[in-house]
């Protein structure tokens, strides 16, 4: 069916708005505007779809939009900032599932398609289904529904077998098109199980990369299915998101110094990890001494981690920062690329607390400044400040770029306990002569520091 020019034009306009919106999301300062622009693009694309002549099931389409829109609006209003990673994961999974569902409908209809179109439909269905179940597992892990990683015996062999079976079934669907229902069912079942089995062994340390990878999968799946439907908005938006997600995944994997293949097939599960023995002892400090160290410093660099997110401490941290700055202390924030549970997690939390963007720096921008800092304050971060990554070749995190917190004159670590990070590696920073441990949840500890800072005047 040839689409009217006005429908194609509206789809193209929507796709352009997606691109401009994605461009805006590249910076925290313009991210909100970018989301709004992309939202208008989606609105135009949806409205144009309803104008297609002869379109059926308009009532069901409207009902689906109302139910989905209401669910998204309500959940978006209620979600906590600390729960944003799991919301991103599940919404991403819904996109992959939608792409797979589009392909399933096309296969079930049995309409004649060219070989190339059928191949793209099968590929889109495969990666969309994998993204759907994989993202659901990621959500369950981040939400705490799945408390640990589950690894099958001969896990990698199972992964390879499932992948080969799904590819084989997909190839059969192309050769035997239109495919029989049992072949379609078998293909989707295997693809869904593949996403589930691949993601279950992956631990929290690798989850930011996994979320980014599935985001790329979803974008590519949507782009391929857009080609099947002849929808330029889906093609352009899907391929742009897929390309951006792929680049982000590569950057995240580089930040961990772990190839993507290792993340998928040799994941850090958070269990016992090898590494050289660490000498020395952890030295505790009180809130009043921590406050004095920062109050009379010239420069303080704050390193937030997931512990800050869990404690909802970002507002207290910003209040503490404001008091220090009023006393003449220079304060900056250092963000590691994989801090938190998704790309940009710490940036979002700090922005929500009102921290200006010009005070937030990434690893490459600020690492050279730690040597001139009087105090490095680590709040709930662990692996991303572990100097073992530089020195211990037997360590699982060896070679991972880290924030040079240990090079500051003094280091204060706010931490709930003496446990290791998600990688399972003991942190050598905690045992250095210039490091002091302030045990407790980040929010009450920051509150105590604020009280002492106010008393110091």
Rg (CA), the chain: 25
CA distance 35 to 93: 19
Beta strands in 288-339 (DSSP E): 299-304, 330-335
**Angle CA 442–445–446, to nearest 5:** 80
Evaluate the CA torsion angle 275, 277, 278, 282 in order and state its sign. Answer: positive
Looking at the chain, how many residues does it have? 457
Closest CA to 124 of 247, 216, 223: 223
**Angle CA 312–318–324, to nearest 5:** 140
Q: What is the largest CA-CA distance in the chain?
A: 79
233 and 45 Cβ atoms separated by less than 8 Å: yes
Q: Is the peptide bond before 259 cis (omega within 30 degrees of 0)?
A: no
Evaluate the CA torsion angle 102, 105, 110, 111 in order and state its sign. Answer: negative
CA distance 195 to 189: 10
Distance of CA 197 to the CA centre of its chain: 20
CA distance 230 to 361: 43
Q: For 321, what's the count of Cα atoms within 13 Å in the CB-facing half-sphere?
A: 24
Give yes or no: 383 in active site.
yes
Distance of CA 429 to the CA centre of its chain: 26
Closest CA to 384 of 272, 275, 312, 304: 304
* Residue of 383, 392, 406, 441 marked catalytic: 383
Q: What is the set of active-site residues?
A: 383
């Amino acid at each position: 069916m040839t689409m009217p020019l006005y429908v194609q034009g509206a789809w193209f306009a929507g796709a352009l708005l997606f691109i401009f919106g994605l461009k805006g999301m590249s910076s925290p300062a313009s991210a909100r505007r970018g989301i709004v622009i992309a939202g208008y693009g989606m609105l135009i694309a949806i409205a144009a779809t309803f104008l297609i002549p002869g379109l059926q099931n308009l009532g069901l389409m409207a009902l689906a939009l109302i139910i989905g829109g209401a669910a998204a609006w309500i959940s978006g209003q209620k979600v906590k900032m600390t729960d944003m990673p799991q919301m991103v994961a599940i919404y991403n999974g819904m996109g992959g599932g939608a792409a797979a569902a589009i392909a399933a409908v096309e296969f079930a209809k049995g309409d004649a398609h060219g070989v190339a179109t059928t191949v793209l439909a099968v590929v889109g269905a495969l990666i969309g289904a994998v993204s759907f179940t994989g993202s659901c597992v990621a959500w369950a892990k981040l939400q705490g529904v799945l408390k640990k990683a589950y690894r099958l015996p001969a896990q990698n062999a199972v992964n390879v077998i499932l992948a080969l079976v799904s590819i084989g079934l997909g190839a059969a669907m192309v050769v035997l098109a239109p495919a029989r229902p049992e072949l379609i069912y078998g293909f989707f079942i295997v693809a869904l199980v593949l996403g589930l089995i691949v993601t279950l062994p992956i631990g929290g340390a690798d989850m930011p990369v996994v979320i980014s990878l599935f985001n790329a999968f979803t974008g590519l799946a949507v782009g391929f299915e857009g080609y099947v439907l002849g929808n330029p908005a889906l093609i352009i938006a899907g391929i742009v998101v897929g390309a951006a997600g792929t680049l982000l995944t590569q950057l995240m994997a580089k930040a961990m110094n772990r190839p993507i293949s290792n993340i998928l097939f040799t994941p850090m599960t958070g269990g016992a990890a090898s590494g050289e023995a660490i000498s020395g002892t952890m030295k505790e400090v009180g809130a009043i001494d921590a406050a004095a160290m920062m109050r009379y410093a010239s420069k303080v660099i704050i390193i937030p981690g997931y512990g800050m997110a869990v404690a909802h401490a970002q507002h207290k941290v910003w209040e503490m920062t404001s008091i220090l700055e009023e006393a003449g202390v220079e304060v900056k924030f250092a963000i590691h690329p994989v801090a938190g549970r998704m790309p940009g997690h710490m940036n979002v939390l700090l922005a929500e607390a009102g921290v200006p963007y010009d005070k937030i720096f990434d690893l490459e921008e600020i690492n050279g400044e730690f040597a001139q800092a009087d105090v490095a304050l680590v709040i709930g971060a662990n692996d991303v400040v572990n100097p073992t990554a530089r020195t211990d070749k037997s360590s699982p995190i060896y070679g991972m770029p880290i924030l040079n917190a240990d090079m500051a004159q003094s280091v204060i670590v706010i931490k709930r306990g003496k446990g290791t990070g998600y990688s399972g590696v003991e942190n050598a920073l905690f045992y250095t002569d210039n490091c002091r441990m302030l045990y407790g949840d980040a929010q009450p500890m920051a509150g105590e520091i604020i009280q002492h800072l106010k008393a110091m005047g």
